[in-house]
Amino acid sequence: MSEIVKITNVEGRAVPIRGNDIDTDRIIPARYLKEVTFARMGEYPFFDERFDASGNLKPHPLNDPKYKGASLLFVNKNFGCGSSREHAPQALYRWGINAIVGESFAAIFAGNCTIMGVPTVTVSPGDIEKLMRAVENDPRTTFSLDIQAKTISFGEHKIGVDLPDTYRSALTSGSWDSTAMLRANLSDVKKTATKLPYMNKFAG
């Protein structure tokens, strides 16, 4: 993962998951956090809403064949609240989601998505309804999310989206995978540390 991957555009079909305050326990039940790697997380998003106790399919957008192959996810308010588990965005990403458009996102969830290179962009309540209706009416609709221009387009429509400038910069410059950027300043980090009294055990 040493090459720089700039994320400027996400194109594809979409899947809507309606509802406010969808927490990360719902996105991925805790029992799947017992796995040592993220490798199989793509099998589990919304597991308990998609399968009953016997493993039979329940009605859910992620089970609906018409949304198969979607790469954008449309959501409502405060999506991803609760637990900081990165397993939640990992599960969505490994299922096939490359960008999430919503009314708002919980802070830790949006940070986790960004550091994985998955843009989370916000739109007004009216615009999310427009996007959700467009995909529900015609699941074959292709959407194009332009991170640099902060727009999402479909057919003749173009809607403005928002995301923090820092997130936009991290994504479009390819420094969303932040380790190398942070590690480059290790000597400054040590200087900052030296100035903190507790790092010197409050020596007199």
Partner 1 sequence: MSGRTLYEKIWDSHSVGVLPTGQTQLFIGLHLIHEITTAPAFDMLREKGMDVAFPERTFATVDHIVPTDVRSRPFLDREAEELTQALEKNVKQFGVEFFGLDSASQGIVHVIGPQLGLTQPGMTLACGDSHTSTHGAFGTLAFGIGTSQVRDVLATQTLAMEKLKVRRINIDGELGAGVYAKDVILNIIRRLGVAGGKGFAYEYGGSVIDSMNMEERMTVCNMSIEGGALVGYVNPDTTTFEYLKGRPYAPGGAAFDRAVAYWKSIASDAQTKYDDVVNFVGKDIEPTVTWGINPGQAVGITEKLPKPDECSDPAGATKAYEHMGLQPGAPILGTPIDVAFIGSCTNGRLADLRAAAKIAKGRKVRSGIRALVVPGSAEVKKLAEKEGLHEIFTEAGFEWREAGCSMCLAMNPDKLHGKEVSASSSNRNFIGRQGSPQGRTLLMSPAMVAAAALSGKVVDVRDYQ
Binding site for partner 1 (CB under 8 A): 1-2, 19-21, 23, 25-26, 29-31, 33-38, 48, 53, 77-78, 81-87, 89, 104, 106-108, 111-112, 115-116, 164-166, 169-170, 173, 175, 177-179, 181-183, 185-186, 188-189, 192-193, 195-199, 201-204
* Residue whose CB is less far from partner 1, 83 or 98: 83
Alpha carbon 197 to chain centroid, angstroms? 38
Q: In whole angstroms, how close is the CB of 157 to partner 1 at the nearest point?
A: 25
Q: Where are the beta strands (DSSP E) in the chain?
A: 9-12, 14-16, 72-75, 99-102, 120-122, 143-146, 151-154, 157-160
* Residue whose CB is less far from partner 1, 2 or 56: 2
* Residue whose CB is less far from partner 1, 140 or 198: 198
Closest alpha carbon to 151 in 159, 163, 139: 159
* Residue whose CB is less far from partner 1, 154 or 176: 176
Q: In whole angstroms, how close is the CB of 6 to partner 1 at the nearest point?
A: 13
Q: In whole angstroms, how close is the CB of 153 to partner 1 at the nearest point?
A: 25
* Residue whose CB is less far from partner 1, 20 or 149: 20
Q: In whole angstroms, how close is the CB of 55 to partner 1 at the nearest point?
A: 13
β-bridge mates for residue 75, sequence order: 102
Closest alpha carbon to 104 in 84, 92, 121: 121
Residue 39: both structure tokens together: 């490798």
Q: In whole angstroms, how close is the CB of 81 to partner 1 at the nearest point?
A: 6
Whole-angstrom distance, CA of residue 17 vs CA of residue 73: 7
**Do residues 50 and 58 touch, judged by C-beta distance below 8 A?**
yes
Q: In whole angstroms, how close is the CB of 15 to partner 1 at the nearest point?
A: 19
Beta carbons within 8 Å of 158's beta carbon, 6+ residues apart: 151, 152
* Residue whose CB is less far from partner 1, 65 or 196: 196
Whole-angstrom distance, CA of residue 50 vs CA of residue 59: 7
